[in-house]
Amino acid sequence: MPTPSRTPAPMSGADILVESLIRHGVEVVFAYPGGASMPIHQSLTRVQDRLRTILPRHEQGGGFMAHGYSRTTGKAGVCMSTSGPGATNFVTCIADAKMDSIPLIAVTGQVSTKVLGNDAFQETPMVEICRGITKHHYLLTRVEDVARVMREAFHVATTGRPGPVLIDVCKDVQTGATVPDWDAPMDLPGYRPLRVAGRAELEPVVAAIRGSKKPFIYAGGGVTHAGAAAELKELAELTGIPVGLTLHGLGNFPADHYLCLQMLGMHGTVYSNYAINEADLLLALGVRFDDRVTGKLSEFAKHGRIVHVDIDSSEIHKNKFAHVPVHGDVKAAIRDLNAILKEDANADLVGGGRYADWMRQIDAWREAEPLRAADAPNAILPQYAIKRLYEILRDRGQLDKTIVSTGVGQHQMWAAQFFHFNRPRKWVTSGGLGTMGFGLPAAIGCKVAFPDHLCIDIDGDGSFLMNVQELATAYAEKIPAKVLLLNNQHLGMVMQWEDRFFASNRAHTYLGAGPDHAPYPDFERIAEGFGVKARSIAAKDDLDAALIEMIESPGPFVLNVHVPHQEHVLPMIPAGMTVKDIIKA
């Protein structure tokens, strides 16, 4: 007799959601519980052998841990909260993910469907709040939709231009039950994220290269998201075209390569900004012509033709007109462009000899205006501290297994300038939104993603204080993230602008607690209160030994380095200005 088929057992909405995470390859979630999300957390306890749950000490901390995980792996990071204030604490994380094109799944609890719209306890309209800062969003009011919505959410977050997806789940949906349809078709009419540019779109790029005498490659975060670093390197080496990188482009082209002109823009190198200003052809790959790069738009790259390659068609022509627009996947576009360049008919374009005069000019700029690492006889200047960290790790052979995150401010720009990256996804920072407090939780997420890597948050005291509570997560979860804290007792970047544009009038940028300017707060005692080892130094002679102690410490570590507050990040192109207005000293 044939064995009768068994009818699948109904599952709760919470169990379906958690099982969906596992089926989509999720290894870890960063989740803080509350009344409206308790059923999901109960489900999480039943799958601890398949899915790790990390408890942050603040929802924003959990959201930025998910950022660190996602930005280093390329996978969707997952964070969870309860409704109301727990959910609204995700708003900054979601906005940050939208600005930097990060695949993030934010799951928030919501009140039951029967009281939706009644201002029930801890009810907030998260979909309405986040409508402008998500790539897509859902309010789940039916348990039958959970499996399909989860499938759609991962698809939307990780395809095309990546971005955040919000899933707001009513509590009665979490407790309700149904037999899930794991293969339910997605309902995403009009969403066609995958496009590969054809040869007809790439031939004009080849023609533009042929007609150019001073070309420049401007590469951004889209290269990271496309996984196109190898293709970019091949393009530059085939043609001999120099490469400048955005803040999020760092690592996509080796910093130690002759053709690398390092970071461009407001705090980029003088020579990269000179080069992009004089170029007669700009190959813009996976960029959005952000104001921190362009300055005054009408004056930016006005001497040449612009080729713009991007997966997001809405970015093409948005800020700068593209003479040669190429809508498609950046990796495929550069790969296919390289293939065309290798054809016999284009042999005159390869080898780099075409641009000898151009490179001689760039070399002259490089020699005349290098990035200068400041120094002082006794004090530890922040640039010097970062430079020594890089040099020590380089000399120890640890760079390939080091990931650097940052907060936002002067320390972030100095890290971009003086810590060199030769591989993608080793540099994790908040760019478009510029969120202070990002560095520590992001470093924790990085370390969870890559337990065998050294994960260091280069931070400032103002930024560090905004999510300092996540030291407790690092200690309790045994996550040995490190913090190099450059403590200048001020909101350094705002102070720099005060010095440059407001006659040094201090408008609430001093973070100390008294006129004697004694160090405050005591970060060493704070860290030790969380169970985290810490050390404070101020003398230059102590720096190397302290950095090595931080590197070699088996657990989380905070190295509190007292630095003078008078330093400025240079060079600097003031906002809305041009290369002609660059400040060098």
What type of residue is 188?
A: L
The residues with which 89 forms a beta bridge, in sequence order, are none
Per-residue HEC secondary structure of 309-337 comes to EECCHHHCCCCCCCCEEEECCHHHHHHHH
Going by C-alpha positions, the residue among 265, 365, 362, 301 that lies closest to residue 571 is 265
* Residues shown for the chain: 585
Going by C-beta distance under 8 Å and a sequence separation of 6 or more, which residues neighbour residue 381?
Answer: 374, 375, 563, 564, 567
331 flagged as catalytic: no
Predicted confidence (pLDDT) at residue 152 exceeds the cutoff of 60: yes
Q: Which of 217, 292, 203 lies closest to 262 in space, CA to CA?
A: 217
What was the pLDDT predicted at 7? Answer: 78
The rounded distance, in Å, linking the Cα atoms of 497 and 508 is 13
Domains of the chain by start residue, with CATH: 11-178 (3.40.50.970), 199-368 (3.40.50.1220), 382-562 (3.40.50.970)
Closest by CA position to 100, among listed 140, 72, 71, 76: 71
DSSP symbol at 539: B
Annotated active-site residue 418? The verdict is no
Q: Crossing angle for the helix pair 59-73 and 91-100, nearest 10 degrees?
A: 20
Residue 517 has pLDDT above 90, yes or no: no
Question: Per the structure block, which two tokens stand in for 286?
Answer: 């996976």
Rama region for 370: left / alpha / beta (φ>0; ψ in -120 to 50; rest)? beta
What string of DSSP letters covers 450-481? Answer: -TTSEEEEEEEHHHHHTTTTHHHHHHHTT---
Contact 217, 241 (CB under 8 A): yes
For the CA atoms of 215, 221, 225, 227, the dihedral, rounded to the nearest 10 degrees, stands at: 40
* CA dihedral (234, 237, 240, 243) positive or negative: positive
56, amino acid identity: P
Q: Is 121 a catalytic residue?
A: yes
Which residues lie closer than 8 Å to 501 by C-beta, 6 or more apart?
Answer: 574
Q: How does pLDDT run across 476-505, given as a tens digit for each residue?
A: 999 999 999 999 999 999 999 999 999 999
For residue 402, the SS3 value is strand
Q: What is the pLDDT of residues 415-441, one digit of tens each?
A: 999 999 999 999 999 999 999 999 999
Rounded Cα–Cα distance for residues 79 and 334 (Å): 34
| pLDDT digit string, tens, across residues 537-555 | 999 999 999 999 999 999 9
Among the listed residues 126, 266, 493, 572, the single catalytic one is 493
- Portion of the chain with pLDDT greater than 70, in percent: 98
Residue-wise pLDDT tens digits, 4-43? 567 789 999 999 999 999 999 999 999 999 999 999 999 9
| DSSP β-bridge partners for residue 306 | 282
Model confidence over 274-295: pLDDT tens digits? 999 999 999 999 999 999 999 9
Reported as a pLDDT band with limits 50, 70 and 90, residue 233 is: very high
Average pLDDT on 428-455 reads: 98
pLDDT in tens, 208-220: 999 999 999 999 9
Residue 493 falls in the annotated catalytic set: yes
Peptide bond into 556 cis (omega under 30): no
Kindly give the interhelix angle for 410-418 and 492-501, rounded to the nearest 10 degrees: 100
Q: Which sign does the torsion angle of CA 303, 305, 309, 310 carry? A: positive
How far from chain centre, in Å, is Cα 530?
Answer: 27
**The one catalytic residue among 75, 135, 171, 533:** 171
Active-site option among 11, 30, 59, 495: 59
pTM, full prediction = 0.97
Single out the catalytic residue among 121, 321, 501, 502: 121
Arithmetic mean of pLDDT, 339-347: 97
> According to the model, what pLDDT value does residue 352 have?
78
SS3 549: helix
Q: How far apart are CA 101 and CA 95, in angstroms?
A: 10
Q: For 366-380, 445-459, 528-542, which range has the lowest pLDDT when averaged over its residues?
A: 366-380
Mean pLDDT of the chain: 96
pLDDT of residue 375: 80
pLDDT of residue 412: 98
CA–CA dist 292, 314 (Å, integer): 19
233 three-state secondary structure: helix
C-alpha 424/C-alpha 452 separation (Å) is: 17
pLDDT in tens, 174-209: 999 999 999 999 999 999 999 999 999 999 999 999
Q: Is 171 a catalytic residue?
A: yes
Residue 160 falls in which region: left (phi positive, over 0), alpha (psi -120 to 50) or beta: left
The answer, yes or no, to whether residue 338 has pLDDT greater than 70, is yes
Query: Mean pLDDT, to the nearest integer, of 148-171?
Result: 98
pLDDT exceeds 80 at position 231: yes
Q: Which tens digits make up the pLDDT trace of 361-409?
A: 999 999 999 998 878 888 999 999 999 999 999 999 999 999 999 999 9
Over residues 258-271, the pLDDT tens digits come to 999 999 999 999 99
